[in-house]
Structure 1
Amino acid sequence: MYSADTGKVKITVLTDDTVASEALLAEHGVSILVELASGHRWLIDTGTTDIFMENARRMGISLDNLTGIAITHGHDDHTGGLTFYSRLKGNPPVYGHPYIWHKSYQIRPGMPVRITGMPYLARKEAAPFFHAVNHVTQLGDGFCFFTDIPREPGSFAPIAGNFFNEDGTGPVPLIDDAAIVIRVQEGLIVIIGCGHAGYTNILGAIHKEFPEEKLLAVIGGLHLTNASETVLAEAVRCTRRFMTDRFAFHCGHCTGENALRYFRKAFGEKAIRPMGAGRTLEF
């Protein structure tokens, strides 16, 4: 079932590492509001703090009575805003892979250990309203949740540096990584939090589920900051296999400037569009 036979799907970036308007605030994180033509409204991720709420207020957007909140993975820059869940009227259900609750740490040479798991207060607030989701699940009219995404042997999946323990033991595979697919008449809109399952793996899983439908847009963070040219070339080839003539990237957060430059050369300037808090898209 398509999300709409008539009308538009509206997507508003509430939180990103950059802003599309100087009237708004930025932070390291992602939060995106999706308003379907049916009237259902979904919040995808909540950023690190309550900035998603403040930016919504400044834009005149109400977050009351959301249909639901979909969490792409458990990292704090996508779940920290759940600390302020009690401010949301309507007690919206929270959906995510069951592993979003696992503790995790990011360890990089020469850097202090970073706690990357969901903050305690966010856990406390969201737990009573949580619904576990696995594999491919249609949460609403044309609104699909993809998780447990298969990772092809040798494919790029940005999970390095993540551990269950702060001493650097127990690598975290980040199997909770998820993507959202919104189906409209013109094609598929894909929203990715960080793409820890690997960009090409995500597109492959989506194409397997919807083999006859084309890719209209990719929005969010792709975690290609440190990707090699080989990885970026494969990302381009994979995208070209599935995309419509109107395809565009709207990416920010962890995508990386190097990846965006590479995509501009491959797809042209018009196909690479900035994200940024305050950006509004209609399809």
Structure 2
Amino acid sequence: MDTPAELVRNAAAAGLDVVALTDHDSVGGYAEAITALPAGLTLVTGAELSCRWAPEPSEGPSNGADAGIGMHMLAYLFDPREPELYRERERVRDGRVPRAQGMVAKLQELGVPITWERVAAIAGDGAVGRPHVAAALVELGVVDSVSDAFTPQWIGNDGRAYVDKYEFDPFEAIRLVKAAGGVTVFAHPMALKRGRCVPESAIAELAAAGLDGIEVDHMDHDEPTRARLRGLAADLGLLTTGSSDYHGSRKACELGEFTTDPEIYGEITRRATGAFPVPGAGG
């Protein structure tokens, strides 16, 4: 996995003029990224919040669906010092280690020779999560890429080695991010390869609660899915964004593979009041 400094340098080398740093439930990489930020590159700070949508009993089948569906909420340009959002992020982060250890244990039960020590080493100083478990599976030759690990066969939502953790309620995440001056975007909402996805009716409810946008251009969305999402966004008045979902060289995607329209980026920055994009000073 790239360090924050490597990320911004690689983004500049890829020809990007804006890059977002959205680590999972963490803002720990901000200082390093800003210090290393090259001239000509602007950094958008944020985080990818782990959420779980819980359907009403009438909204889904009863065969395990009551536990809800995992989802990720991108939070851009919020104030990282806002105390209520900070406390909730820490609650989520505190559950990351036992959750990853639980996935390692399940994989070992499935006959995979994975170790916690290797997963922890891959995570380094960052917040340990599924991408690090997935990277270990790639190293072992169990899967060909990090993306291939995020399936029901392995550690995708509801997968054989998936383990639940404490997660934000998505409606509460929207409220907290808004209170911290940030902008919210539902990440890869129809990435079916990863497991169950929330229904469109839930996206409508999130929009009514203040959701700003949905991520449309993403490696896990094919062209018909993107067209469907653009139509849904137009109906709900949501912004549409793009993202390479880059996690370093271990994941089969290129930095800058998918980008956000400059006009939509401008609208995101206009809506944000908690923080502002940081222009590079030649670090």
TM-score higher than 0.5: no
TM-score (normalizing by structure 2): 0.36
Richer in strand (by share): 1
Greater RCO, CA 8 A, separation 6+: 2
